[in-house]
């Protein structure tokens, strides 16, 4: 479920050496399965262990994961990186905002998973996001841009060169294209 690098394990052992005997770490997700999901790591003293926790053994310590966070920490990684700017503990949990879906899930569920776990985190750095509106009978994924993407002059480039390319590579036999909801709608507010 969670991969902790050797350097991160050594870092945790060092940190835990200053804590009371029997203290481990807790890995958790706040607001799992939502766009606001945040992952974290904290100390977990013996009296904070819950009956439904899953316990993972590492070199010199254990990691506790609560039942609610567990499905959202699948494929999570923790690393401890040192560079010219100093040292940093990094936690990556690609499934925190949306529980990983099975390969036989519906196309819309699989696309929504990719949007939440891969595309929206990239757009978030610019204050933007997208959501899946529908998949047409012709196999076109209709998306709606939000946040900082609204009114951005780069939306067309992001859509065609980024999002469409990525989704067509991932779902080649199921998707035929990707459009912005404003391209797809007809009516007095449409530019068509």
- pLDDT of 150-168, one tens digit each? 777 777 888 888 889 999 9
Using the predicted structure, report yes or no on whether residue 190 has a pLDDT greater than 50.
no
Q: Of 20-29, 34-43, 182-191, give the range with the top mean pLDDT.
A: 20-29
Residue 132 pairs with which residues in a beta bridge? 143
Q: Is 185 a residue whose pLDDT tops 60?
A: no
Domain final position from 92, 118, 148: 92
Residue 39 assigned as binding residue: no
| pLDDT of res. 27 | 96
Residue where a domain stops, chosen among 92, 123, 152:
92
Q: 28 and 65 in contact (C-beta within 8 Å)?
A: yes
Q: Does the annotation place 44 within a ligand binding site? A: no
| Domain around 115 | 107-180
Question: Using CA atoms, how far apart are residues 79 and 63, in angstroms rounded to an integer?
Answer: 14
Report CA 155 to chain centroid distance, whole Å.
Answer: 22
Total domains in the chain come to 2
The pLDDT tens digits of the residues spanning 76-96 come to 999 999 888 888 999 998 888
């Amino acid at each position: 479920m969670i991969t902790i690098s050797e350097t991160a394990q050594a870092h945790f052992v060092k940190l835990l050496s200053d804590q009371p005997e029997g203290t481990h770490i807790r890995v958790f997700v706040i607001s799992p399965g939502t766009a606001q999901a945040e992952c974290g790591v904290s100390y977990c003293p013996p009296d904070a262990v819950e009956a439904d926790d899953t316990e993972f053994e590492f070199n010199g310590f254990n990691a506790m994961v609560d039942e609610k966070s567990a499905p959202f920490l699948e494929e999570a990684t923790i690393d401890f990186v040192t560079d010219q700017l100093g040292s940093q503990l990094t936690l990556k949990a690609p499934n925190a905002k949306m529980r990983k879906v099975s390969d036989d899930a519906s196309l819309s569920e699989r696309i929504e998973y990719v949007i939440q776990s891969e595309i929206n985190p990239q757009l978030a750095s610019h204050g933007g996001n997208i959501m899946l509106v529908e998949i047409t009978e012709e196999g076109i994924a209709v998306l709606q841009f939000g946040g900082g993407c609204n009114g951005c002059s780069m939306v067309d480039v992001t859509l065609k060169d980024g999002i469409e390319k990525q989704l067509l590579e991932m779902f080649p036999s199921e998707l035929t294209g990707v459009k912005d909801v404003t391209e797809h709608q007809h009516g007095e507010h449409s530019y068509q």
